[in-house]
Amino acid sequence: MRHYSRVIGTGGYLPTTICTNDDISQRVETSDSWIFERTGIKSRRIAGGDESAASMAEIAATQAMDAAEILADELDLIIVATGTPDRVYPSTACLLQQRLGAKNCVAFDIQAACSGSIFALSIADQYIKSGAAKKVLVVGSEVCSRLVDWTDRETCILFGDGAGAIVLEVAEQAGILSTHIHSDGGCEDLLYCPNPQAATAANKDELGFIKMRGNEVFKVAVNTLGRIVDETLAANEMDKSDIDWLVPHQANIRIIAATAKKLRMSMDQVVVTLENQGNTSSASILLAFNEAVRDGRIQRGQVVLLEAFGAGFTWGSALIRY
């Protein structure tokens, strides 16, 4: 018998502290209208001093497991997507495993920047399809605010913090219809974050803040996401009209709108959380998916396209029949 994976629970967590565009305008030369017109962002959440990727992941994961009606000991695998781990090692997934009291599973992190949750879902799907796991917890958790140079108006306006989670289990019919992941290290300098502690002599003076050449990233992202839409539809022998919902990575409203146009979808069929969350990197898709499930927009049986683009460059999609 063939194995498939399906979504049985979702969860999410956003810190309580809100940083508005007006707040940022007190730090750098910008304005609410300038930021909103270019990005679609009005505010973002900022993690408290006692919060971390692991602590936020715990809240989102617990919510997802409660929705799935499973206990931590039932998990076979925990995958955490994060670019802002609590420690270099052990992994944030291991820290989460300890917090949850999940004694019977494997736990590891993956790092694919803003595409992290798509990569994690793809890995989880392969584990279940192979028969190596029956129940998998996937989490995206980020404290991007700690990698932001708050004097750089090109990047400090974009990012926020949060965590999203999904529980997958083995099923007789496909819930995850397909996943598609790609990477290209040739554009590494267009979007990156240095690691000062691992620096070579050539870049020893770089600080550990996100650096981005926004215009170039935008152009590549729009073209690349257009191709991933075509690839996903072709692999599933589907038409654009077969997609009920688009849940995109929340990076920029213009990129989101371009992908919706590619699918000939109304923005009413697109889950957008960007305005009040900003770019939460690997957490953004899972946060958006959770929000739309919980408010009733996404219904059982509907087909949902998740897609993301991130530093690396990395990009990917997951097509889900929820």
Residues marked active site are found at 114, 249, 279
Instruction: Calculate the alpha carbon distances from 110 to 92, 93, 184, 286 in Å.
Output: 10, 9, 16, 15
Instruction: Calculate the alpha carbon distances from 127 to 3, 84, 132 in Å.
Output: 10, 25, 5
- Non-local (6+) Cβ contacts of 180 within 8 A are 122, 228, 231, 232, 235, 316, 317, 318
Please state, in angstroms and rounded to a whole number, the distance separating the CA atoms of residues 64 and 84: 21
Burial class (CB in 10 A: 0-12, 13-18, 19+), 41: buried
Please state, in angstroms and rounded to a whole number, the distance separating the CA atoms of residues 322 and 318: 12
- Non-local (6+) Cβ contacts of 290 within 8 A are 10, 11, 12, 60, 63, 64, 164, 165, 166
Instruction: Note whether 196 and 206 are within 8 A (CB).
Output: yes
Strands 17-20, 211-212: pairing kind: unpaired
Please state, in angstroms and rounded to a whole number, the distance separating the CA atoms of residues 108 and 81: 9
Instruction: Note whether 10 and 286 are within 8 A (CB).
Output: yes
Instruction: Note whether 71 and 58 are within 8 A (CB).
Output: no
Q: Which long-range contacts (CB under 8 A, 24 or more apart) does 29-38 make?
A: 29/153, 30/153, 30/157, 35/157, 38/252, 38/254
